[in-house]
Structure 1
Amino acid sequence: MNAVDNAAEYRADVSRYRRDFRRYLQELSWADQWRAVSFTSAEDELAFGSKVLAELYAQGWNRLGWPVEVGGLGGDEIHRAVYYEEIGAAMLPIPAQHWTLETLGPALIHFAPDLASQYLSGYLDGSEWWGQSFSEPESGSDLASLRTRASVDGDELVINGQKIWTSQGPTARRVVALVRTGTPESRHRGLTMVLVDTDTPGVTVRPIALASGRRELAEIFFDDVHVPRERVIGEIDGGWAVTMYLMQYERGMYGYAVLNKAMTELGRLREYMVTAGSTADRARFGEIYIQVVCAQARTAETVRRLARGEIVGPESSVDKLLFGTAEKAVNDLVLDVRRDQMVGGRPDVDAAELDSLRAEWWYTRAGTVMGGSAEVQRGIIADHLLRLPKEKR
């Protein structure tokens, strides 16, 4: 049974896709290995995820919801949501490549279909993944203040500057970089989005070791980096429109996938609490479960809107605020329930499992900061949705 042979039926009937994908995961001979896998480095996690994606791609299961032109099998965002739901329901970890794919892929398809048809199939089959290279030193949530410069030189862009906190940057084959092509005064009107290969001369990638010790992010330097003009996503000086389009997926599809991951983490924690006879945190577990379900309901509506082709504006900040705080709450609960193991370790518990739990907790410390801090999201909600009076500064 594979999705390639039944793609037409799955496009027309998402419930059949769900049923058959669920059966595929139940019958998968290496599902237990996938379910139990733990890592001590981000590089190993991505390498394993690459193998998972290669298998799912060959069978067609992760290609529903992506256009045929980019290696997909058609369908829409609902198919991708079901894909994450069923992986989570099977208690399987979602391959980490999906986090950036869900953010960058739709924008490439919309604004640069030729680039998407050329490169996205390699993303779907796990042979490559990309980094999101937006933030800079002194320019985090305020993307309009970016200073990395791209000068137009005939058929090329020449990029100079520095990026930081690039997601999956240490092992990324390419990065989607937001650069300034206008004057500093042009703010968001002078930005351009461009796809840059990390092996291009002049690109230097320096991995950043997080508090967990894992190198999940990178600092990237551009020194006279020449990029063909056809690598521009959208238009020169039109990068802000690409960014705003991208953000609705970062807060919608990405958020929905993250919340399915959070549900899996809660499911594993529940099993541990039952086995260990833990009763002290049951009420808190229930409260956090409800918090995750509510965030899921919100992001599910955003996914439905995206599937209908609607543009999701500032209201996506509500999604970002809800799923960021819910993800953090889940991992705080995991730490509190398993604190003796996570802090001191135990000889009877797999060291890689504990390392993964610690790394996840550390990473979620940034969950309400990266992609626009919680305070910025509250400000957007106050200004654009609730129309509250402007804050006095």
Structure 2
Amino acid sequence: MDLQTFRTDLDAWVEEHRAQLTPAPGGEGSLADQLAHLSVVKRLAYDAGFGRWGWPERVGGLGGSPLYRALLGERLTAEGIVQPGGWSMTEVLAPTMIDFAPPELAAAVVPLLLRGEEHWCQGFSEPGTGSNLAELSCRAVRTDDGWRVNGQKVWTSHAHLSDRCVLLTRTGTRESRHRGITALFVDMDTPGITVRPLETMHGVDEFCEVFFDDVLVPADRLLGDVDGGWAVAMDLLPYERSTALWHRGAYVRRRFEELLDTADPGALDPADVGNVALQLFALRAVSRRTQHRLADGDRLGPETSVDKILLGTAEQAVFDLVATGLSDEVVAGTDSTSARWRSDFLYSRAATIYGGTSEIQRNVLARRVLGLGEEP
């Protein structure tokens, strides 16, 4: 199927299933409700074939270009049918599972994620090591029956509602830094795992602390090589900063258009509107290039930090404009529409923090792309 046919068929399918493809719960709604709705949409898309295009056949896909996935995610997030964060978790974690998990494990579990039967999380950040993964200390020790894990993670999105976790652990010394990290695939119902949700300022329990107390992970849940977890992380993070950002950008752009349709024109400075439109255009242009590089088989690397910086600044600029043009709704509105505007505004404050701070992204670009200093 060519991309234009895919797009045309997708448009027709969305219109045909409007009754089921309802807007995702938003505003100050429950994250559990959002993920339950996400599961319904993913299953519908998978059964119709749209959720399988762009994924390898060996994990339940139909093959073809990753651009199919970009088009599907863009359509669903831009229309608010799904929330971009939950939808994009598949784009962040499934490619790395396909690349690094034992083939039989990937074949068994990736279809569960694509169909919405499971939700997964990403256990990377720790207290004091949010953006500096080389300093992580959650430790895995090899035993006769697998790995014993002890330690803590934090800012783990959706952990309390997830079935599995892609987990980075320390298997070497702290001095070995990134050369002593190992990635594991962990069932979240394993004895010894305690999850404590953290409510954000926009009223959603999106993030969690996760504690591992002598948790047994089977030996066949190793992702990649022992002490080779840095390669897994470096494979995963560009996906977090590529297709996932394409989806987020589509959602932010839609909210910008809704702002222009809703706000009193006299409340917005035309120069500010033009500046925000320019930032969104730059984000889309760079992100589109990244999608096509991915489709061409290029190996994404540290240069995708540019995408993340542009997304963070554009998202905050859009919702700064919202705070000006819809100040009454953002501050004091009580209906569901106002709650969604307020929620998005508050969430945008973290846009330059989540997924690696803008400061860290600039350091990555300086050291690993421009060669302006050695890695510590």
* Fold agreement, TM-score > 0.5: yes
Contact kept in structure 2, 1:45 and 1:96, CA below 8 Å = no
1:156 aligns with 146
1:48 aligns with 37
The one of 305, 308, 317 aligned to 2:305: 317
Task: Give me the whole-angstrom Cα distance separating, in 2, the residues matched to 1:110 and 1:32.
Answer: 31
Return the offset for 1:213: 2.0
1:360 maps to 2:344: yes
The one of 301, 305, 325 aligned to 2:293: 305
**Segment drifting more, 165-174 vs 326-335:** 326-335
Task: Give me the whole-angstrom Cα distance separating, in 2, the residues matched to 1:315 and 1:345.
Answer: 41
1:72 aligns with 61
Contact kept in structure 2, 1:39 and 1:353, CA below 8 Å = no
Local SS of the residue matching 1:241? helix
Local SS of the residue matching 1:196? strand
Do the aligned partners of residues 32 and 199 (structure 1) sit closer, same or farther apart at CA in structure 2, a change above 3 Å counting?
closer
Do the aligned partners of residues 93 and 279 (structure 1) sit closer, same or farther apart at CA in structure 2, a change above 3 Å counting?
farther
**Segment drifting more, 220-229 vs 112-121:** 112-121
Task: Give me the whole-angstrom Cα distance separating, in 2, the residues matched to 1:111 and 1:32.
Answer: 33
Contact kept in structure 2, 1:26 and 1:90, CA below 8 Å = no
Report Cα offsets for 1:238-275 as digits up to 9, x if no partner.
100011111111111111111111122122222213xx
Give the structure-1-normalised TM-score: 0.89
Partner amino acid, structure 2, of 1:289: A
Report Cα offsets for 1:277-315 as digits up to 9, x if no partner.
555244322321221121111111112111222112221
Task: Give me the whole-angstrom Cα distance separating, in 2, the residues matched to 1:89 and 1:23.
Answer: 16
Contact kept in structure 1, 2:14 and 2:21, CA below 8 Å = no
1:217 maps to 2:207: yes
1:6 aligns with none
Partner amino acid, structure 1, of 2:188: T
Task: Give me the whole-angstrom Cα distance separating, in 2, the residues matched to 1:59 and 1:302.
Answer: 27
- 1:73-88 equivalences in 2 (<5 Å): 73-88=62-77
1:379 maps to 2:363: yes
The one of 80, 83, 86 aligned to 1:97: 86
How many residues in Structure 1 have an aligned counterpart in Structure 2? 375
Return the offset for 1:363: 2.2
The Cα RMSD (Å) is 2.2
Report Cα offsets for 1:157-179 as digits up to 9, x if no partner.
10000000001112111111110
Contact kept in structure 1, 2:137 and 2:151, CA below 8 Å = yes
- 1:337-356 equivalences in 2 (<5 Å): 337-346=325-334, 350=335, 352-356=336-340
Task: Give me the whole-angstrom Cα distance separating, in 2, the residues matched to 1:249 and 1:27.
Answer: 31
Give the structure-2-normalised TM-score: 0.93
- 1:267-346 equivalences in 2 (<5 Å): 267-273=257-263, 276-346=264-334
The one of 157, 168, 188 aligned to 2:178: 188
Do the aligned partners of residues 88 and 148 (structure 1) sit closer, same or farther apart at CA in structure 2, a change above 3 Å counting?
closer
Do the aligned partners of residues 70 and 318 (structure 1) sit closer, same or farther apart at CA in structure 2, a change above 3 Å counting?
same
Contact kept in structure 2, 1:91 and 1:267, CA below 8 Å = no
Contact kept in structure 1, 2:54 and 2:61, CA below 8 Å = yes
Task: Give me the whole-angstrom Cα distance separating, in 1, the residues matched to 2:243 and 2:52.
Answer: 15
Do the aligned partners of residues 368 and 293 (structure 1) sit closer, same or farther apart at CA in structure 2, a change above 3 Å counting?
same
Do the aligned partners of residues 88 and 227 (structure 1) sit closer, same or farther apart at CA in structure 2, a change above 3 Å counting?
closer
1:125 maps to 2:109: no
Do the aligned partners of residues 316 and 33 (structure 1) sit closer, same or farther apart at CA in structure 2, a change above 3 Å counting?
closer
Report Cα offsets for 1:295-344 as digits up to 9, x if no partner.
11111111211122211222111111111211222222222221111211
Contact kept in structure 1, 2:330 and 2:345, CA below 8 Å = no
Do the aligned partners of residues 370 and 34 (structure 1) sit closer, same or farther apart at CA in structure 2, a change above 3 Å counting?
closer
Paired-residue identity, %: 41
Do the aligned partners of residues 380 and 334 (structure 1) sit closer, same or farther apart at CA in structure 2, a change above 3 Å counting?
same
Partner amino acid, structure 2, of 1:378: R
Local SS of the residue matching 1:222? strand
Task: Give me the whole-angstrom Cα distance separating, in 2, the residues matched to 1:281 and 1:31.
Answer: 39
1:143 aligns with 133
1:232 maps to 2:232: no
1:177 aligns with 167
Task: Give me the whole-angstrom Cα distance separating, in 1, the residues matched to 2:13 and 2:372.
Answer: 50
Contact kept in structure 1, 2:85 and 2:248, CA below 8 Å = no
Task: Give me the whole-angstrom Cα distance separating, in 2, the residues matched to 1:41 and 1:301.
Answer: 35
